[in-house]
Amino acid sequence: MGSLITDSSQAAMGAVAQPVRIQFTYWQGVGRRLTRDPISMVCASILVLLVLAAVFAPLIAPMDPYKSSIFNRLKPFGTPGHLLGTDELGRDMLSRLIYGGRISLVMGLLPITVATFCGSILGIVAGFFGGKTNMVIMRITDVFFAFPSVLLAVGIAGALGAGPVNVLVSLSLVFTPPITRVAEAATTQIRNQDFIEAARATGASAPRIIVGHVLTNVTSLILTYASSLIGVSIVLAAGLSFLGLGLAPPTADWGLMLNTLRPSIYLAPVICVTPGILILITSICFNLLSDGLRTSMEVKP
């Protein structure tokens, strides 16, 4: 009995003696862990560079990406004036790659944004209300899961016809079902917990509970999952451009550049595969960053 008292008093004394520990909010903690992960930071820096290059393309690009020159076709790397050579119409590859990032990044990121928005709404509504609402939404989602993602994207974009808006629509449709499923699972898990019951008991309306209590609890899960899809989206968007379903040629776009350079592969193999390296780097960086985000969000006990 005596020892117990001294123990607890010692513990109390110890707590007083220790310096006050700064308490972080959850997101601050995640941010700290993420910034301390070297792989995530390298990937983030590369992505920031790519985005900045795309945004400030007119200032950075050494030449006009659309100015062709019949005498300077398919020049190799390191040609004076053309650091990364020239393409099949003699246009500067470096400038085209910098400009190409604009469309390729937007076409990869925008569908995920749209799909996250739509998928979250559908999934949270399905999970929160349950019953028939859930059944209808989730069974429709199941149908879209029956298609391999590439097939669905090509099918919808192919039926709608070529064009950036149609690519956007088809990719958003491809990525909405998986996000809906994750949002639904996360919402179903918390919908019967005590704090939701308490909110209901105080007379809070369904929209209020969703915005105030459900959303705050499922957002992190949905966003981590959505971030893991960005890499796939970039590759798939470039793939649709590669099939000629995106923007029409002269436009600088990584996927489309691969398409138009492909016939020249016997003449200049290195130049022809260069745009793909940027697609690969972007996709790897997004995937690794998303992995890093997931790891730093798992709070270890």
Partner 1 sequence: MLWYSLRRIAYILPILFGVSVVCFSLVHLAPGDPMTAVMPEFASAELIAQIKQAYGFDKPLPVQYLYWLQAIVSGDLGTSTTQNRPVLDELIPAIWNTGQLAIFGMLISLAAGIGLGVLAAYTRRLVTDRTITAAAIVGVSVPHYWVGMVLVAVFAVQLGLLPAMGMANTGTGVFGLDDIRFMILPAVTLALIPTGIIARSVRATVLDVRRQEFVQTLQANGLHPRRVFMHVVKNAAPSVLAIMGIQIAHLIGGSILVETVFGWPGTGYLLNTAIATRDLPLLQGTILVLAVFFVLMNFLVDLAQPFLDPRIKRQ
Size of the site for partner 1 (CB under 8 A): 43
Binding mask 241-260 for partner 1 (x = CB under 8 A): -xxxx------------x--
- What is the distance between the alpha carbons of residues 75 and 73, in angstroms, rounded to a whole number? 6
Least distance (Å) between residue 280 CB and partner 1: 6
Beta carbons of 164 and 244 less than 8 angstroms apart: no
Residue placing its CB nearer to partner 1 in the complex, 220 or 264: 264
State residue 247 phi and psi, 5-degree precision.
-75, 155
Beta carbons of 177 and 144 less than 8 angstroms apart: yes
Residue-wise DSSP of 21-45: PPPPPHHHHHHHHHHT-HHHHHHHH
Both tokens assigned to 198: 């308490």
Judged by CB under 8 A, does residue 109 bind partner 1?
no
- What is the distance between the alpha carbons of residues 132 and 125, in angstroms, rounded to a whole number? 11
Judged by CB under 8 A, does residue 138 bind partner 1?
no
State residue 94 phi and psi, 5-degree precision.
-60, -45
Judged by CB under 8 A, does residue 144 bind partner 1?
yes
Residue placing its CB nearer to partner 1 in the complex, 206 or 270: 270
Judged by CB under 8 A, does residue 77 bind partner 1?
no
Type of residue numbered 224: T
Type of residue numbered 86: T
Binding mask 259-298 for partner 1 (x = CB under 8 A): ---x--xx--xx-xx--x--xx--xx-xxx--x-------
| Selected binder of partner 1 within 123, 164, 177, 231 (CB under 8 A) | 231
- What is the distance between the alpha carbons of residues 247 and 238, in angstroms, rounded to a whole number? 11
Judged by CB under 8 A, does residue 140 bind partner 1?
yes
| Selected binder of partner 1 within 77, 117, 129, 147 (CB under 8 A) | 147
- What is the distance between the alpha carbons of residues 183 and 127, in angstroms, rounded to a whole number? 8
Both tokens assigned to 150: 């590439």
| Selected binder of partner 1 within 156, 186, 252, 256 (CB under 8 A) | 156
| Selected binder of partner 1 within 50, 105, 115, 235 (CB under 8 A) | 235
- What is the distance between the alpha carbons of residues 8 and 206, in angstroms, rounded to a whole number? 46
Site for partner 1 in 32-61 (CB under 8 A): none
Least distance (Å) between residue 147 CB and partner 1: 5
Please name which of 115, 118, 98, 152 lies closest in space to residue 228, comparing C-alpha atoms: 115
Least distance (Å) between residue 104 CB and partner 1: 11
Single out the segment in contact with partner 1 by CB under 8 A; choices: 21-29, 55-63, 234-242, 292-300.
234-242
Return residues touching partner 1 (CB under 8 A).
139-140, 142-144, 146-151, 154-156, 158-161, 231, 235, 238-239, 242-245, 258, 262, 265-266, 269-270, 272-273, 276, 279-280, 283-284, 286-288, 291
